[in-house]
Amino acid sequence: MTPRLQFKRTALHPTHNGKADMPDPSASKPVRSDGFHRSIGLFSGTAINMTQMCGIGPFITIPIMVATMGGPQAMIGWIAGALLAVADGLVWAELGAAMPGSGGTYVYLREAFQYRTGKLMPFLFIWTVLLTIPLLMSTGIIGMVEYLEYFFPHLGWWPVHLVSLAATGLVTWLLYRRIESIRAITIALWVIMLVSVIGVSAAGFSDFHPEFAFSYPAGAFGSHFFVGLGAGLILGIYDYLGYFTTAYMGDELRNPGRTMPGSIIISIIAMMVVYLVLNLSVLGVAPWQEIAQSRSVASLVVERSWGHLAAAGMTVLIIVTAFASVFAGLLGGSRVPFQAAHEKVFLSVFGKLHAKHGFPHVALLTMGVVTAIGTFFDLTEVINMLLAATIIVQSIAQIAALVVLRKRQPLLIRPYRQWLYPIPCVMALLGWIYVYVSASAMSLILSGAWIVAGLVVFAIWARVNRCWPFAPVEIREAYLGND
C-alpha cells in the first residue's frame, strides 16, 4: 500500500496536562492532576527494575545455558546479555524520560512513526504484545511445572500439560475480578525471589568444588563458541527482561533525567553480579554435564548441600515465585491492549470492560488462552519465539524511534540525552540482529507469521476506521505543543 503523504495536523495536549505551547524548560516536570506524584528516586527505581528482572528465570535457564554453550563458559552468556541490555537500556532511558507516562513502547512508536505510517507501528506493537506477554507467562508456567516434578518425578506428557492448563486457568480465574493493586504481591514476590537466590547461592558455596566450576571442555572457546554464544545470548537477555520497568513509570520518577538511566544501568549491573554468583555456585556443586541435564537445578543444588527437606522447601518457594510472577504479569499485560483500544489505536473489542467488575476481560481471556497454548511448546522454543517477535516490533523499532524523534521533534524536552549517541544505538542494533539471526527457524517462522497476520488485521481495521493508508495521516504530538 502506497502511503498518502497528506497531513492533517492536530495539536494535542500532553498527557500530563501541560499547555499546548512551545516547550519550556519547566515542562520537564509537568503538573499532574491524576494523582501521580514524583516519589520514586534512584534507589527505589533500581529496586523496582530488579524485582521485575529476577523471577524464576535463572532457575530454569541455567541448565539450558550450560547445555547450549557446552560448559562453565556459559557465564559469558550473562555478561553478553548485560552488555546488550545496557546499550538497549540507554535507548529506553532517553525515550522514557522525554515521554513519561503509561504505555512505554506504545507511546514511543506512536509519536515517532505517525508522520509516515499513521497508527501502523503502535498497532503492530499491541498486536505483538498479545503474543509476547502470554509467551513470557508461559515460561513461568513451564518452569513452575518443571520444579513441581521434583515432588512428582514420573509425571507423563499428559499430566504435565494438564497441570500447566490448570495453573493457567487458575491464574486467569483469580484475575477475573476487580483488582485495585498488586503491591502486596510484588513485595512478596521480591522477598521470595531474594530468599531463593540467596538460599541457592549459599547452598552451592557451602559445598563448592572448584574442579567442577572451572572444568572447561576441550575447544570450549573454539570455532563453535560464537554459535553457542548466539543461543546463549537469547537466554541471557531473557533473564534481564524488566530492566526497562521504570520507563513505564516516568511520570512517577523524581528527576527522570537522572533516575531513568541510573535505575536501568545499576539494575542491569547488579543483576549481572547476582546471576554470575548464582551460576558459579551452581556449577561448583556437580559436573556441568549433570547440571545441563537437570530440570530443577536449584533443588539439585540445595539437596546436595543441605539435604532433601531443605531442597523441598526451596522448591516450594520457587513454585510460588513462578505462580506469582505469572499472576502479576497477566494482570499488567491485559491492561496494555485495553489502553490502546481506548485511545482508538487498536481493535475496539479490547477496549471493553467487564460489566460488573470493570476490568478488561477480553484482553485477559485472550492472553490467558495464548499462555495456555504456549505451555505446549518447549521452554527454549517459547523464549525464542517471544524474543523473535519482540526484536522487530519493539527493540529495533525503538532504536529507529529515537533517531526519528531527534529529527522530527528537536524541541522535545529531553531530561536525559543518550550518552555517546549514536554508539549505544548502533551497539544495541547489532546485538539485537545477532540475537534474531541466532533464533531457531521455527520461532522466526511463527513470529513472522504473527506479524504478517497483524499487518492484514491492521489493513482491515484501518479500512473500517478510515485511517492511514485509507485516509491522510493525522499528526498528534502529545509531548510537543504546537501553536
In a domain, 1, yes or no: no
Give residue 273's domain range: 7-475
- Interval 181-198 mean pLDDT: 74
User: Is 363 contained in some domain?
Assistant: yes
* Mean pLDDT to the nearest integer, 31-60: 75
Residue 227 lies in a domain: yes
Task: Indicate whether 16 belongs to any domain.
Answer: yes
Structural domain includes residue 208: yes
pLDDT in tens, 99-143: 887 678 999 999 999 999 999 999 999 999 999 999 999 999 999
> Does residue 467 contact residue 119 with C-beta atoms inside 8 Å?
yes
- Give, in order, the Cα–Cα distances in Å from 144 to each of 161, 366, 369: 12, 21, 18
- 322-371 tens-digit pLDDT: 888 888 788 878 888 988 898 889 999 998 888 887 888 999 999 999 99
Confidence (pLDDT) at 309: 96
Give the lowest-confidence range in 285-299, 355-369, 416-430: 355-369
Q: Reply yes or no on whether the pLDDT at 181 is more than 90.
A: no
All 3 cell numbers of residue 54? 529476577
Max avg pLDDT among 18-32, 37-51, 385-399: 385-399
pLDDT attached to residue 183: 56
**Listed range (66-75, 162-171, 174-183, 266-275) with the worst mean pLDDT:** 174-183
CA atoms within 13 A on the CB side of 465: 21
What is the predicted pLDDT for the residue at 185?
67
Q: Identify the CA nearest to 198 among candidates 77, 314, 320, 50.
A: 314
User: Residue 264 — pLDDT band, cuts 50, 70, 90?
Assistant: very high
- Write the CA distances from 98 to 13, 362, 422, 425, 426, integer angstroms: 15, 32, 17, 17, 20
Does residue 481 fall inside a structural domain? no
Per-residue confidence (pLDDT) for residue 167, from 0 to 100: 95
Cα–Cα distance measured from residue 318 to residue 143, given in angstroms and rounded to the nearest whole number: 9
pLDDT on residue 44:
84
> Residue 184: what pLDDT?
65
**Weakest mean pLDDT among 221-225, 425-429, 470-474:** 221-225
What integer pLDDT is reported at residue 452 of this predicted model?
Answer: 96
Whole-angstrom CA distances from 223 to 65, 219, 436 are 18, 8, 20
Q: Are 364 and 334 in contact (CB under 8 A)?
A: yes
For 91, 416, 459, the CA distances from 70, given in Å and listed in that order, are: 33, 41, 46
pLDDT at 105: 92
The pLDDT tens digits of the residues spanning 193-249 come to 788 889 999 999 999 999 999 988 887 787 778 888 898 999 999 999 989 988 887
The pLDDT value given to residue 186: 65
Q: Which residue has the higher pLDDT, 458 or 324?
A: 458
Residue 35 pLDDT: 46
pLDDT tens-digit map of 358-417: 888 999 999 999 999 999 999 999 999 999 999 999 999 999 999 999 999 999 999 999
Q: Which residue has the higher pLDDT, 481 or 171?
A: 171
The CATH number that applies at residue 60 is: 1.20.1740.10
Classify residue 308: in a domain, yes or no: yes
When pLDDT is cut at 50, 70 and 90, the band that residue 16 belongs to is: very low
| Structure confidence at residue 395 (pLDDT) | 96
Q: How many folded domains does the chain comprise?
A: 1
Residue 275 is predicted with a pLDDT of 92
pTM of the model: 0.86
Neighbours of 223 (CB within 10 A): 7
Residue 480 inside a domain? The answer is no
Q: Evaluate whether 67 touches 212 at the Cβ level (below 8 Å).
A: no
> Nearest 5°: phi and psi at 324?
-65, -35
* pLDDT recorded at residue 36: 52
Polymer length of the chain = 483
Helix (H) or strand (E) holding 295: none
Higher-scoring residue by pLDDT: 417, 482: 417
How many CB atoms sit inside 10 A of residue 350's CB?
Answer: 22
* pLDDT value at 424 more than 70: yes
Q: Pick 65 or 483 by higher pLDDT.
A: 65
| pLDDT for position 17 | 35
pLDDT of residue 175: 86
Query: Alpha-carbon distance 266 to 47, whole Å?
Result: 10
Mean pLDDT of the chain: 86
